[in-house]
Amino acid sequence: RKEVEQDPGPFNVPEGATVAFNCTYSNSASQSFFWYRQDCRKEPKLLMSVYSSGNEDGRFTAQLNRASQYISLLIRDSKLSDSATYLCVVNSGFQKLVFGTGTRLLVSP
Amino acid sequence: EAGVAQSPRYKIIEKRQSVAFWCNPISGHATLYWYQQILGQGPKLLIQFQNNGVVDDSQLPKDRFSAERLKGVDSTLKIQPAKLEDSAVYLCASSLRGYNRDPYEQYFGPGTRLTVT
């Protein structure tokens, strides 16, 4: 079983739609969780951290469910510029990050 | 603030040849990482340095891959000899331990796209 699992997609949504991605992780001792964004042929960049209480940054909301070991990312009012691959990332200890395969999002006009 | 620098950006070699990649992390970042990202997959950690010491190299294929970080700043990753399955993007990242809002945030360089023919 992979340490971090994501649906690779692609998720095709129209502008203005709400879309949600889930990710599961296998290491119950994991302490930190993140969503990174990766544009085509570019490097990954931190989108947001995921806290136990959940957190929101504009149109983006991230939530953590430790009991079920999953992380979610919700994007409201999708923009064309949101088209990218969203990587679920788990800190497995001592600053070591484990990346999922990514979920590809395509937002169309 | 300058970001993580990597070179070359692209490299095409034949199998069994050797290749080396260079990385210069963000100034002051103690931790440096090399990742391999195969098309359609997430980045996979190859090696992690804390200053000039190796923290984790459990996924580095040591029979052909080597890396060093002399003086705790720049780093080089070498493949010798290359195989077809080494075709990937090699990403370097760095992080500043414990001082910013997200101590585990990693800043990535643009990567080196390697094609082995």
What is the β-pairing status of strands B88-95 and B107-108?
A: antiparallel
- Chain A residues whose CB is inside 8 A of the B31 CB are 95
pLDDT of residue B98: 44
Residue whose structure tokens are 């440096």: B32
**Res. B85: pLDDT tops 80:** yes
Per cent of chain A over pLDDT 70 is: 97
User: By the CB < 8 Å criterion, does B48 face chain A?
Assistant: yes
Q: Give the model's confidence band at A94: pLDDT under 50 very low, under 70 low, under 90 confident, else very high.
A: low
**Res. B83: pLDDT tops 70:** yes
- DSSP label of A81: G
Instruction: Give me the residues paired with residue B71 across strands.
Output: none
Interface A–B counts its CB contacts (< 8 A) at 51
A102: nearest CA in chain B? Answer: B42
Q: A7-31 pLDDT, tens per residue?
A: 999 999 999 999 999 999 998 888 8
**Res. B101: pLDDT tops 60:** no
* DSSP track, B90-110: EEEEEE-TTSSSSTT--EE--
Q: Across the interface, do B56 and A96 touch by the CB < 8 Å criterion?
A: yes
Q: Which two tokens stand for residue A55?
A: 């957190």
User: By the CB < 8 Å criterion, does B53 face chain A?
Assistant: no
Q: Give the model's confidence band at B102: pLDDT under 50 very low, under 70 low, under 90 confident, else very high.
A: low
pLDDT of residue B100: 43
> How many Å apart are CA B94 and CA B104, to the nearest integer?
10
The average pLDDT across A35-56 equals: 92
pLDDT of residue A29: 85
**Res. B60: pLDDT tops 50:** yes
Identify the H or E element spanning B23: strand B19-24
Mean pLDDT of chain B: 91
User: Can you state the percent helix, strand and coil of chain A, rounding each to 5?
Assistant: 5, 60, 40
User: Closest approach of chain A CAs to the CA of B15, in angstroms?
Assistant: 24
Contact A65, A25 (CB under 8 A): no
Contact A100, A3 (CB under 8 A): no
Q: Give the model's confidence band at A1: pLDDT under 50 very low, under 70 low, under 90 confident, else very high.
A: confident
- What 3-state DSSP class applies to A61? strand
Q: Across the interface, do A32 and B31 touch by the CB < 8 Å criterion?
A: no
